[in-house]
Chain A
Amino acid sequence: MRGARTATGAVMAVACLLLAGCGSKPAPSASPPKPPAPPPLATSFASTGGASWTVVQMGGSATDENNFWQLFLRPAATGTWRQVTPLGVADNGGLVVASSGTGSLVTAFRPSQLLTYTPLAASTDNGADWSSAGPLNGSLASAADALAAGPGGQLMALTSGGTKAELGQRLGATWTRLVTTSSLNATPAGRACEVTGLTAAAFSGGTPLLAASCGRPGVAGIFADTGGSWHAAGPPVPGDTVDVLGLASSGTGLVALLRATSGSSASIIAAWYSGGRWTLSSPLRIGAGKLASTAVGPGGSVGVTWNGTKAATLAGPGAAWRALPALPKSAATLALGAPVEVITANGQTFREYQLASGTWSLAQTVHVQIPYGSSG
Chain B
Amino acid sequence: MNSGLNDNNSTLVAAFRAALLHQGLYVLLIFAILAVAWVSAREWLRPARKPRPTTPEPAWRELLRISFGVIWIFDGLLQAQPDMPAGLPSQVIEPTAASSPIWVQHVVNWAGATWSYHPIQASASAVWIQLGIGVWLIAAPRGTWSRLAGLASVAWGLVVWVFGEAFGGIFAPGLTWLFGAPGAALFYCAAGALIALPERAWRSPRLGRLVLSGMGLFFIGMAVLQAWPGRGFWQGRLHGAQGTLTSMVTSMATTPQPSFISRVVASFGSFTDAHGFAVNLFAVIALAAIGSGLLSAALPEVGLRAPAPWLIRATVIAVIVLCLADWVLIEDFGFFGGLGTDPNSMIPMALVIVAGYLALRPAPAPVAETAAAPEPSEPATAAAEPAAAPRREGWQSQPARLARAFGAAGTGVVVAIWAIAIVILGAAPMALAQANNNASPIIAQAIDGNAAPLDFKAPAFTLTDQNGKQVSLASLRGKVVLLTFLDPVCTNDCPEIAQEFKGADQVLGAKARDVELVAIVANPLYHSVAYTRAFDTQERLANVPNWLYLTGNLAQLRQAWKNYAIAAQILPSGGMIAHTDVAYVIDRSGYTRNELDFDPGPGSASSESSFSVELTQTAEQLLRSS
Asked whether A115 lies within 8 Å of B575 as measured between CB atoms, the reply is no
Specify which of B528, B570, B572, B578 is in contact with A370 (CB 8 Å cutoff).
B572
Instruction: Provide the main secondary structure of the chain B interface.
Output: loop
Binds A, one of B68-76, B133-141, B146-154, B487-495: B487-495
- Return chain B residues, CB-CB under 8 Å to A114: 491-492, 495-496, 603
18 pairs, A vs B, C-beta closer than 8 Å: A70-B574, A85-B573, A86-B573, A87-B573, A88-B526, A89-B489, A93-B491, A109-B489, A113-B491, A115-B538, A116-B538, A132-B525, A172-B530, A374-B572, A374-B575, A374-B578, A375-B576, A376-B1
A90 adjacent to chain B (CB < 8 Å) = yes
B571 adjacent to chain A (CB < 8 Å) = yes
B523 adjacent to chain A (CB < 8 Å) = yes
Asked whether B492 lies within 8 Å of A87 as measured between CB atoms, the reply is no
Asked whether B489 lies within 8 Å of A119 as measured between CB atoms, the reply is yes
A373 adjacent to chain B (CB < 8 Å) = yes
Cβ distance A94 to chain B, nearest Cβ, rounded Å:
11
A83 adjacent to chain B (CB < 8 Å) = yes
- Return chain B residues, CB-CB under 8 Å to A132: 525-528, 531
Asked whether A115 lies within 8 Å of B490 as measured between CB atoms, the reply is yes
Specify which of A135, A369, A376 is in contact with B573 (CB 8 Å cutoff).
A369
A111 adjacent to chain B (CB < 8 Å) = yes
The 6 closest A-B pairs by CB, nearest first: A371-B575, A374-B575, A68-B574, A88-B525, A85-B573, A114-B495
Chain B 256-272, CB-CB to A under 8 Å as 1, else 0, gives: 00000000000000000
B556 adjacent to chain A (CB < 8 Å) = no
Cβ distance A335 to chain B, nearest Cβ, rounded Å:
19
Interchain Cβ contacts within 8 Å, total number = 101
Chain B 519-563, CB-CB to A under 8 Å as 1, else 0, gives: 000011111101100100110000000000000000000000000
Asked whether A119 lies within 8 Å of B526 as measured between CB atoms, the reply is yes
Asked whether A374 lies within 8 Å of B576 as measured between CB atoms, the reply is yes
- Return chain A residues, CB-CB under 8 Å to B2: 376
Chain A 76-101, CB-CB to B under 8 Å as 1, else 0, gives: 00000001011111111100000000
Asked whether A371 lies within 8 Å of B572 as measured between CB atoms, the reply is yes
Asked whether A137 lies within 8 Å of B534 as measured between CB atoms, the reply is yes
- Best-surrounded residue of B1, B493, B537, B571 (most CB of chain A within 10 A): B571
Within B135-177, which residues are at the interface with A (CB < 8 Å)?
none
- Return chain B residues, CB-CB under 8 Å to A137: 534, 537
A53 adjacent to chain B (CB < 8 Å) = no
- Return chain A residues, CB-CB under 8 Å to B573: 68, 70, 83, 85-87, 368-369, 371
Asked whether B531 lies within 8 Å of A135 as measured between CB atoms, the reply is yes
* Given A119-B489, A371-B576, A375-B576, 6 extra CB contacts under 8 A: A83-B573, A89-B489, A90-B489, A114-B495, A119-B526, A376-B493
A306 adjacent to chain B (CB < 8 Å) = no
Within A349-376, which residues are at the interface with B (CB < 8 Å)?
368-371, 373-376
A185 adjacent to chain B (CB < 8 Å) = no
B577 adjacent to chain A (CB < 8 Å) = yes
- Return chain B residues, CB-CB under 8 Å to A376: 1-2, 491-493
Asked whether B570 lies within 8 Å of A117 as measured between CB atoms, the reply is no
A112 adjacent to chain B (CB < 8 Å) = yes
A203 adjacent to chain B (CB < 8 Å) = no
What is the size category of the interface that chain B forms with chain A?
Answer: 20 to 34
A residues adjacent to B (C-beta < 8 A) = 58, 68-70, 83, 85-93, 109, 111-117, 119, 130, 132, 134-135, 137, 172, 368-371, 373-376
Asked whether A117 lies within 8 Å of B571 as measured between CB atoms, the reply is no
Closest chain A residue to B569 by CB distance?
A374
Closest chain A residue to B2 by CB distance?
A376
Specify which of B492, B493, B574 is in contact with A91 (CB 8 Å cutoff).
B574
Specify which of A70, A88, A130, A370 is in contact with B489 (CB 8 Å cutoff).
A88
- Given A132-B528, A371-B572; A88-B492 close (CB under 8 Å): no
Asked whether A375 lies within 8 Å of B531 as measured between CB atoms, the reply is no
Asked whether B491 lies within 8 Å of A112 as measured between CB atoms, the reply is yes
- Given A115-B489, A172-B530, A376-B492; A85-B538 close (CB under 8 Å): no
Cβ distance A158 to chain B, nearest Cβ, rounded Å:
18
Cβ distance A52 to chain B, nearest Cβ, rounded Å:
18
| A85 to B575 CA separation, bound complex (whole angstroms) | 10
- Return chain A residues, CB-CB under 8 Å to B495: 114-115
Specify which of A85, A88, A368 is in contact with B576 (CB 8 Å cutoff).
A88
- Best-surrounded residue of A69, A117, A375 (most CB of chain B within 10 A): A375
Closest chain A residue to B603 by CB distance?
A114
Asked whether A375 lies within 8 Å of B491 as measured between CB atoms, the reply is yes
Asked whether A87 lies within 8 Å of B491 as measured between CB atoms, the reply is no
- Return chain B residues, CB-CB under 8 Å to A116: 538
Asked whether A373 lies within 8 Å of B572 as measured between CB atoms, the reply is no
- Given A89-B526, A92-B574, A374-B571; A117-B538 close (CB under 8 Å): yes
| A109 to B571 CA separation, bound complex (whole angstroms) | 16
- Best-surrounded residue of B1, B526, B537, B603 (most CB of chain A within 10 A): B526
Closest chain A residue to B494 by CB distance?
A114
- Return chain B residues, CB-CB under 8 Å to A375: 491-492, 575-576
Specify which of A135, A172, A369 is in contact with B572 (CB 8 Å cutoff).
A369
Asked whether A90 lies within 8 Å of B575 as measured between CB atoms, the reply is yes
Specify which of A58, A112, A119, A371 is in contact with B571 (CB 8 Å cutoff).
A371
- Given A68-B574, A371-B572, A374-B575; A88-B523 close (CB under 8 Å): yes
Within B566-599, which residues are at the interface with A (CB < 8 Å)?
570-578
- Return chain B residues, CB-CB under 8 Å to A89: 489, 525-526, 576
Asked whether A117 lies within 8 Å of B534 as measured between CB atoms, the reply is yes
Within B1-37, which residues are at the interface with A (CB < 8 Å)?
1-2
Closest chain A residue to B531 by CB distance?
A135
Cβ distance B238 to chain A, nearest Cβ, rounded Å:
24
Within B445-493, which residues are at the interface with A (CB < 8 Å)?
489-493
Cβ distance B131 to chain A, nearest Cβ, rounded Å:
41
